[in-house]
């Protein structure tokens, strides 16, 4: 019985059409990242598992592709890039001029149950800004976050901003000791029914009054001018007041960047990682295909120190490519990929001189920047033209022994069927004129 090898669960084969769309998105993002003077980095696909344990605790291993290599080293495929970038910074760049501004476009791996917009291998595009604690750094990163989506043609989306300091303060106000656990529960609130969410809150020792307060908090969402005054009434500690003032300043800067109309305040945002220390944010694009957040980020001022480096403030974001692309396709934003060549060169016959002439012509076209292909299977002229027609090639160059003896080739317009004979030495110029029309 022949062994059938199937694709691993949670992964995908990306065909040429899909890769062309993906590359189009990557190019849009890379362009805007570099306009903001972020520079591309790429770290190893696997790291020591201890790196991720330091960040998120022992339980994170259940979500990792962790394994022992042949040398007995415990490694994991990267579940995100922030940890790897932080490790790179600690290893080699602590004394570099600040801020350090890096971006990446890479694949990640998490052992999670696959669902809409979520795979076990997935791609993210993101940035990390290390070395500035100022609110200007938060504004720079969030403005770039907005501009990144706009660069792909996405227009209907909001960036919702929350704050980890305020959530921690809220947990203290309620007397909840496991603030990390409460954050994780709040982060999953949209995936739970109201009844299940309430029952889960009771496990933190909250009474009806506390539960009512939590539900009230996560419903504080809207325009900054409407929400921040409510937050000032809810939080009374000095630390919370300082943080709210920082959010006011952040919103003001984002208005100056010209992206303020995209911003909502949502104090129920906890994000999925427990290393955030202040402002957190996520992008939401309304859709009918079951996709929630399409990216997010925040400030993580303690992570570098956790990894053994000098205290270094940092902020960044990641865009979920597997979530963004389906929304762009659903909206019809991504151009249909053009996978056909502009020119198809067909040699007629088996004569060595004809075949070499065909190679010379296709090479000259490619050197001139024309997307050109050549008949490689030995088809006769009729079948070769049929193949070119199926590809949708606009022009074919036919090279036969008789024409070649006169230093000529035939250019055929595949749409009209018209043919013209041109000098072999002028064919590149002729094609450039045709394809420029």
Would 399 be classed as within a structural domain? yes
**pLDDT classification of 167: cutoffs 50, 70, 90:** confident
Backbone angles phi, psi at 349, to 5 degrees: 95, 175
Give Cα 269 to chain centroid, integer Å. 20
Number of domains in the chain: 2
d(CA 103, CA 81): 10
Query: Does position 254 have pLDDT exceeding 90, yes or no?
Result: yes
Give Cα 266 to chain centroid, integer Å. 23
Residues 150 and 240 grouped into a single domain = yes
CB atoms within 10 A of CB 225: 10
Query: Does position 171 have pLDDT exceeding 70, yes or no?
Result: yes
Would 121 be classed as within a structural domain? yes
d(CA 426, CA 361): 10
Tokens read off for 127: 């940035």
Would 5 be classed as within a structural domain? no
Residue 56: per-residue pLDDT = 82
Residues 295 and 360 grouped into a single domain = no
Residue 117: per-residue pLDDT = 64
Q: What is the pLDDT of residues 64-105, one digit of tens each?
A: 999 999 999 999 999 999 999 999 999 999 999 999 999 999
Residue 213: per-residue pLDDT = 80
Q: Which residue has the tokens 């959010």?
A: 247
Residues 235 and 367 grouped into a single domain = no
Residues 118 and 178 grouped into a single domain = yes
Domain boundary pick from 282, 304, 330: 330
Would 6 be classed as within a structural domain? no
Residues 128 and 221 grouped into a single domain = yes
Residues 149 and 279 grouped into a single domain = yes
Q: Among residues of the chain, what percentage have pLDDT more than 90?
A: 76
Q: What is the pLDDT of residues 188-219, one digit of tens each?
A: 777 778 788 888 888 877 888 888 888 888 78
Please give, one letter per residue, the 3-state secondary structure of 338-399: CCCCCEEEEECCCCHHHHHHHHHHHHHHHHCCCCEEECCCCCCHHHHHHHHHHHCCCEEEEE
Nearest in space to 137 (alpha carbons), one of 264, 274, 145: 145
Domain boundary pick from 282, 301, 330: 330
Query: Does position 437 have pLDDT exceeding 60, yes or no?
Result: no
Residue 383: per-residue pLDDT = 96
* Helices and strands, number each (H, E), in the chain: 16, 17
Q: Which residue has the tokens 């957040």?
A: 293
Looking from the CA of 359 toward its CB, the CA atoms found within 13 Å total 7
Mean pLDDT of the region 54-71: 91
Residue 253: per-residue pLDDT = 98
Query: Does position 170 have pLDDT exceeding 90, yes or no?
Result: no
d(CA 73, CA 80): 20
Long-range pairs, 280-283, Cβ under 8 A, ≥24: 280/161, 280/162, 280/163, 280/164, 281/142, 281/145, 281/159, 281/160, 281/161, 281/162, 281/317, 282/159, 282/160, 283/145, 283/149, 283/157, 283/158, 283/159, 283/160, 283/319
- Give the CATH number of the domain where residue 395 resides: 3.40.50.800
Residues 315 and 364 grouped into a single domain = no
- Cis bond upstream, residue 99 (ω within 30): yes
DSSP-based three-state secondary structure for 237: coil
**Range(s) of the domain holding residue 200:** 16-330
d(CA 382, CA 419): 15
Which of 110-114, 197-201, 255-259 shows the highest mean pLDDT? 255-259
Would 370 be classed as within a structural domain? yes
**pLDDT classification of 116: cutoffs 50, 70, 90:** low
Q: What is the pLDDT of residues 362-375, one digit of tens each?
A: 999 999 999 999 99
Where b means 16+ CB within 10 Å and e means fewer, 298-309 reads: bbbbbbbeebeb
Q: What is the pLDDT of residues 325-375, one digit of tens each?
A: 999 999 999 999 989 999 999 999 889 999 999 999 999 999 999 999 999
d(CA 418, CA 404): 19
CA distances to 37, 138, 278, 338 from 271, in Å:
27, 16, 11, 38
Nearest in space to 170 (alpha carbons), one of 213, 139, 212, 203: 213
Overall pTM surpassing 0.85 (yes/no): yes
Q: At what angle do helices 164-174 and 238-257 cross, to 10 degrees?
A: 150
Residues 326 and 356 grouped into a single domain = no
Residues 414 and 271 grouped into a single domain = no
Lowest mean pLDDT among 72-81, 183-192, 300-309: 183-192
Would 176 be classed as within a structural domain? yes
Residues 64 and 103 grouped into a single domain = yes
d(CA 343, CA 170): 65
Q: What is the pLDDT of residues 407-431, one digit of tens each?
A: 999 999 999 999 999 999 999 999 9
Domain boundary pick from 274, 301, 330: 330
- Give the CATH number of the domain where residue 153 resides: 3.30.930.10
Q: Among residues of the chain, what percentage have pLDDT more than 70?
A: 98
Residues 315 and 374 grouped into a single domain = no
Residue 273: per-residue pLDDT = 56
């Amino acid at each position: 019985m022949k062994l059938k090898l199937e694709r691993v669960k949670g992964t995908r084969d990306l065909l040429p059409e899909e890769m062309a769309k993906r590359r189009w998105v990557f190019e849009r993002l890379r362009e805007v990242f570099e306009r903001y003077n972020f520079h591309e980095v790429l770290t190893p696909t696997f790291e020591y598992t201890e790196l991720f344990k330091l960040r998120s605790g022992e339980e994170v291993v259940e979500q990792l592709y962790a394994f022992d290599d042949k040398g007995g080293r415990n490694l994991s495929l990267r579940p995100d890039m922030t940890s790897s970038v932080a490790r790179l910074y600690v290893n080699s760049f602590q004394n570099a001029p600040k801020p350090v501004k890096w971006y990446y476009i890479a694949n990640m791996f998490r052992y999670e149950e696959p669902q809409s917009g979520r795979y076990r291998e997935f791609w993210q595009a993101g940035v990390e800004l290390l070395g500035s604690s100022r609110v200007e750094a938060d504004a720079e990163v969030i403005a770039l976050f907005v501009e990144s989506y706009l660069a792909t043609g996405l227009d209907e989306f909001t960036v919702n901003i929350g704050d980890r300091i305020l959530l921690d303060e809220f947990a203290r106000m309620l007397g909840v000791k496991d603030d990390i656990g409460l954050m994780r529960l709040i982060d999953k609130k949209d995936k739970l029914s109201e009844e299940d969410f309430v029952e889960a809150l009771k496990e933190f020792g909250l009474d009806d009054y506390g539960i009512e307060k939590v539900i009230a908090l996560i419903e504080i969402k809207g325009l900054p001018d409407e929400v921040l005054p409510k937050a000032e009434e809810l939080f009374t500690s000095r630390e919370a007041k300082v943080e709210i003032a920082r959010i006011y300043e952040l919103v003001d800067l984002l208005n100056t960047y010209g992206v303020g109309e995209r911003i909502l305040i949502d104090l129920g945002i906890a994000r999925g990682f427990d290393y955030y220390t202040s402002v957190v944010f996520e992008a939401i694009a309304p859709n009918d295909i079951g996709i929630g957040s399409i990216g997010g980020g925040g400030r993580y001022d303690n992570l570098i120190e956790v990894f053994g480096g000098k205290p270094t403030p940092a902020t960044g974001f990641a865009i979920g490519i597997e979530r963004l692309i389906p929304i762009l396709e659903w909206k019809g934003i991504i151009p249909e990929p053009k996978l056909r060549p502009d020119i198809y060169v067909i040699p007629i016959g088996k004569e060595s001189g004809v075949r070499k002439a065909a190679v010379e012509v296709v090479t000259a076209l490619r050197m001139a920047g024309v997307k050109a292909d050549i008949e490689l299977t030995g088809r006769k002229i009729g079948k070769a033209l049929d193949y070119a027609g199926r590809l949708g090639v606009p022009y074919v160059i036919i090279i036969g022994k008789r024409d070649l003896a006169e230093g000529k080739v035939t250019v055929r317009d595949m749409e009209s069927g018209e043919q013209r004979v041109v000098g072999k030495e002028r064919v590149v110029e002729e094609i450039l004129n045709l394809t420029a029309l």
